[in-house]
Structure 1
Amino acid sequence: MDWPSVYLHEANCVSPLGLDLPTNWERLTEGHIGIVQADMGKCGNVFVGKMAEDAIIPRAPTATGTLLEHMMEIAAAPLVKKYKPTARTALVLSTTKGNISLLDSGDIEGARVSVLAKKIAARLGIHTKPVVVSHACISGLLAVIAAKRLIQMGQYDDAIVLAGDVVSEFVVSGFQAFQAMSPFPCRPFDKRRHGVSLGEAAACVYMSREKGAFKILGDGAINDANHISGPSRTGEGLCRSIAAAVQEAGIDIGSIDYISAHGTATLYNDEMESVAFSRLGLEQVPLNSLKGYYGHTLGASGLLELAVTMKSMEEGVLLPTQGFGEIGVSQPLNVLENITRQQTRRALKTASGFGGSNAAMIIERR
Structure 2
Amino acid sequence: MKPVFIIADNIVSPIALTANENFDLLKAGVSGIQLHHTTIAPEPFYAALFNEDAGFTASVNNADAYTKFERLLITSVQDALSLAPVDCAGKRTVLIISSTKGNISLIEKEPFNADVKRRVGLPASARAVADYFHFTTNPVVVSHACISGLVALITGMRLLQSGRFDHAVVAGADIITQFILSGFRSFHAISNAPCKPFDAQRNGITLGEAAATVVLSVEKPQTKNYIRLSGGAVSNDANHISGPSRTGEELHYAIEAAVKEAGMAKSAIDFISAHGTATIYNDEMEAKAIQLSGLQQVPVNSLKGYYGHTLGAAGLIETVASAHSLKANMILPTPGFETPGTTVPLHINKVLQTGIYGACLKTASGFGGCNAAIVLQKAI
TM-score greater than 0.5 by the shorter chain: yes
Whole-angstrom distance in 2 between the partners of 1:33 and 1:23: 13
Q: How many Å apart are 1:250 and its aligned residue?
A: 2.1
Letter in 1 for 2:200: K
Residue equivalent to 1:325: 338
Q: Do structure 1's residue 236 and structure 2's residue 236 form an aligned pair?
A: no
Residue equivalent to 2:43: 44
Is the contact between residue 60 and residue 70 of structure 1 (CA under 8 Å) also seen in structure 2? no
Q: How many Å apart are 1:236 and its aligned residue?
A: 1.6
1:257 aligned residue (249, 270, 274): 270
Whole-angstrom distance in 2 between the partners of 1:345 and 1:166: 33
Residue pairs, 1:186-201, within 5 angstroms: 186-201=195-210
Q: How many Å apart are 1:44 and its aligned residue?
A: 2.6
Residue equivalent to 1:120: 129
1:284 aligned residue (297, 300, 306): 297
Q: 1:359 to 1:57 in 2, by over 3 A?
A: closer
Letter in 2 for 1:192: Q
Whole-angstrom distance in 2 between the partners of 1:241 and 1:162: 22
Residue equivalent to 1:70: 71
Residue equivalent to 1:99: 103
Whole-angstrom distance in 1 between the partners of 2:91 and 2:180: 36
Is the contact between residue 15 and residue 200 of structure 1 (CA under 8 Å) also seen in structure 2? yes
2:30 aligned residue (23, 32, 35): 32
- What is the aligned-residue RMSD (CA, Å)? 1.2
Report the secondary structure of 1:60's partner residue. Answer: coil
- List alignment gaps of at least 5 residues for structure 1: none
Q: How many Å apart are 1:87 and its aligned residue?
A: 2.1
Normalization by structure 1: what TM-score? 0.97
- List alignment gaps of at least 5 residues for structure 2: none
Q: How many Å apart are 1:43 and its aligned residue?
A: 4.8
Report the more deviating stretch, 33-42 or 193-202.
33-42
1:89 aligned residue (88, 93, 102): 93
Whole-angstrom distance in 2 between the partners of 1:210 and 1:42: 47
Residue pairs, 1:205-244, within 5 angstroms: 205-212=214-221, 213-244=226-257
Residue equivalent to 1:184: 193
Letter in 1 for 2:95: L
Q: Do structure 1's residue 364 and structure 2's residue 364 form an aligned pair?
A: no
Q: How many Å apart are 1:58 and its aligned residue?
A: 4.9
Is the contact between residue 40 and residue 46 of structure 1 (CA under 8 Å) also seen in structure 2? no
Is the contact between residue 53 and residue 67 of structure 1 (CA under 8 Å) also seen in structure 2? no
Residue equivalent to 1:61: 60
Letter in 2 for 1:250: G
Q: How many Å apart are 1:125 and its aligned residue?
A: 2.1
Show CA shifts across 1:300-338 (max 9, x none): 000000000011111111111000000000111110111
2:152 aligned residue (135, 143, 152): 143
Letter in 2 for 1:130: P
Whole-angstrom distance in 2 between the partners of 1:140 and 1:253: 23
Is the contact between residue 218 and residue 249 of structure 1 (CA under 8 Å) also seen in structure 2? yes
Letter in 1 for 2:122: V
Identity of aligned residues (%): 44
Report the secondary structure of 2:54's partner residue. Answer: helix
Whole-angstrom distance in 2 between the partners of 1:193 and 1:43: 23
Q: 1:43 to 1:130 in 2, by over 3 A?
A: farther
Letter in 2 for 1:181: I
Report the more deviating stretch, 300-309 or 207-216.
207-216
Whole-angstrom distance in 1 between the partners of 2:161 and 2:118: 34
Whole-angstrom distance in 2 between the partners of 1:58 and 1:262: 29
Q: 1:88 to 1:279 in 2, by over 3 A?
A: same
Is the contact between residue 18 and residue 79 of structure 2 (CA under 8 Å) also seen in structure 1? no
Whole-angstrom distance in 2 between the partners of 1:232 and 1:274: 12
Q: How many Å apart are 1:52 and its aligned residue?
A: 1.7
Is the contact between residue 46 and residue 194 of structure 2 (CA under 8 Å) also seen in structure 1? yes
Show CA shifts across 1:251-271 (max 9, x none): 211111110000000000000
Q: How many Å apart are 1:40 and its aligned residue?
A: 4.7
Q: Do structure 1's residue 312 and structure 2's residue 313 form an aligned pair?
A: no
Whole-angstrom distance in 2 between the partners of 1:330 and 1:186: 19
Whole-angstrom distance in 1 between the partners of 2:136 and 2:53: 30
Show CA shifts across 1:102-123 (max 9, x none): 1120222111100000001111
Q: Do structure 1's residue 156 and structure 2's residue 160 form an aligned pair?
A: no
Show CA shifts across 1:166-212 (max 9, x none): 11110000000111000000000001101000100100011111123
Question: What is the total number of aligned residue pairs between the two structures?
Answer: 364
Normalization by structure 2: what TM-score? 0.93
Is the contact between residue 100 and residue 311 of structure 2 (CA under 8 Å) also seen in structure 1? yes
Letter in 2 for 1:207: L
2:314 aligned residue (295, 301, 317): 301
Letter in 2 for 1:51: F
Is the contact between residue 60 and residue 73 of structure 1 (CA under 8 Å) also seen in structure 2? no
